[in-house]
């Protein structure tokens, strides 16, 4: 009897959500345990008038992406929404998409804030704690009027708009190997070094903003075998990498939130061509 009810519920859930597949045996907060959502994550860095590398795009290209997202029925969500889906079964919109920005760049943030308002969109911004500290100090001394990274005041202002989720891009591990284990480094030494950096970031972010970070965006997408276990130990609930695939996350499967894939948005490409590429790469990343 119960089985039949669950089977009918599964059919209704599938019918209601084109991108959601259910294989429920139990329910959690009204949603099926094991229910899966497909979530593409886009990786942006800085907006520039004349992009001269594959990580920068123009203001026009970003606005065109936002228009494309709205016109094609996507809804922007942030990492907290993915975590709430997996941990608590809180529903996601029908076509969720995460727009992630790396490095905490200015004046990029100033340019995108009005656009996020105009298109009712949200982003996840991963800042480098050390750079934010450094430019906060430079700003205090009045040394430069324009700076490449956000200050803590600018981080707070962005967070207060309710459209920018602030996350960790490490405190100071954005060098040549990112947060990876060094060659010859013992696992224990690596664990201590990474935990110290993660704690420092969390402590300083919290002291300035009251925010507790829950996602690590791996600098350069560089990961070692042990990295996700260490960031779990530090209390991080999700991590983002750089493999260009979409993601499947699952209610009740907390591991499905780690090392999530992202599509790099390159310059000199139309939104239509770029988003078509997402469709081409729909080989989903079934996790565990």
Closest CA to 43 of 19, 60, 64, 65: 65
Residues 6+ apart with CB under 8 A from 268: 51
* Closest CB 240 distance from Zn ion, rounded Å: 11
Dig out the tokens for 185 from the structure: 């480094």
* Closest CB 262 distance from Zn ion, rounded Å: 12
Nearer to Zn ion, 78 or 92 (CB): 78
* Closest CB 219 distance from Zn ion, rounded Å: 5
Closest CA to 62 of 276, 207, 269: 269
Measured from each CB, the residue nearest to Zn ion is: 102
- Between CA 120 and CA 122 the distance in angstroms is 7
Number of residues written out for the chain: 288
Closest CA to 180 of 193, 196, 199, 167: 193
* Closest CB 102 distance from Zn ion, rounded Å: 4
* Closest CB 131 distance from Zn ion, rounded Å: 10
Work out whether 103 is an interface residue with Zn ion (CB under 5 A): yes
Work out whether 102 is an interface residue with Zn ion (CB under 5 A): yes
Work out whether 131 is an interface residue with Zn ion (CB under 5 A): no
Binding mask 212-251 for Zn ion (x = CB under 5 A): -------x--------------------------------
H-type alpha helices, the chain: 2-16, 59-71, 79-88, 108-118, 129-140, 152-160, 187-209, 227-233, 271-280
Nearer to Zn ion, 31 or 128 (CB): 128
* Closest CB 264 distance from Zn ion, rounded Å: 12
Nearer to Zn ion, 102 or 165 (CB): 102
Q: Which range in 31-39, 98-106, 221-229, 233-241 contacts Zn ion by CB under 5 A?
A: 98-106
Binding mask 50-89 for Zn ion (x = CB under 5 A): ----------------------------------------
Nearer to Zn ion, 46 or 116 (CB): 46
* Closest CB 103 distance from Zn ion, rounded Å: 5
Q: SS3 letters for 101-162?
A: EEECECCHHHHHHHHHHHCCCCEEEEECHHHHHHHHHHHHCCCCCCCCECCHHHHHHHHHCC
Dig out the tokens for 221 from the structure: 């997408």
Binding mask 167-206 for Zn ion (x = CB under 5 A): ----------------------------------------
- Between CA 149 and CA 143 the distance in angstroms is 14
Total residues binding Zn ion (CB under 5 A): 3
| Residue 168: Cβ within 10 Å count | 27
| Contact residues: Zn ion, CB under 5 A | 102-103, 219
């Amino acid at each position: 009897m119960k089985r039949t009810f669950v089977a009918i519920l599964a059919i209704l859930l599938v019918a209601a959500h084109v991108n959601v597949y259910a294989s429920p045996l139990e329910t959690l907060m009204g949603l099926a345990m094991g229910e899966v959502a497909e979530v593409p994550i886009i990786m942006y860095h800085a907006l520039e008038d004349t992009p001269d590398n594959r990580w920068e795009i123009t203001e026009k290209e970003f606005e065109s992406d936002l228009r494309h997202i709205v016109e094609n029925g996507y809804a922007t969500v942030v990492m907290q929404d993915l975590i709430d889906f997996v941990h608590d079964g809180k529903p996601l919109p029908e076509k969720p998409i995460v727009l992630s920005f790396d490095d905490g760049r200015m004046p990029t943030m100033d340019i995108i804030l009005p656009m996020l308002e105009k298109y009712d969109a949200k982003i996840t911004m991963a800042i480098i704690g050390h750079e934010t500290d450094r430019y906060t100090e430079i700003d205090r001394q009045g040394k430069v009027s324009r700076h490449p990274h956000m200050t803590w005041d600018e981080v707070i202002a962005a967070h207060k708009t309710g459209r920018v989720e602030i996350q960790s891009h490490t405190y100071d591990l954005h060098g040549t190997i990112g947060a990876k284990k060094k060659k010859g480094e013992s696992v224990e030494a690596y664990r201590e070094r990474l935990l110290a950096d993660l704690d420092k970031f969390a402590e300083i972010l919290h002291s300035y903003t009251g925010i507790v970070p829950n996602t690590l965006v791996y600098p350069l997408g560089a990961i070692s075998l042990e990295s996700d276990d260490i960031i779990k130990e530090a209390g991080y609930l999700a991590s983002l990498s750089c493999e260009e695939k979409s993601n499947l996350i699952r209610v009740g499967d907390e591991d499905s939130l780690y090392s999530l894939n992202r599509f790099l948005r390159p310059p000199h490409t139309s939104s239509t061509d770029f988003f078509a590429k997402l469709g081409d790469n729909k080989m989903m990343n079934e996790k565990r």
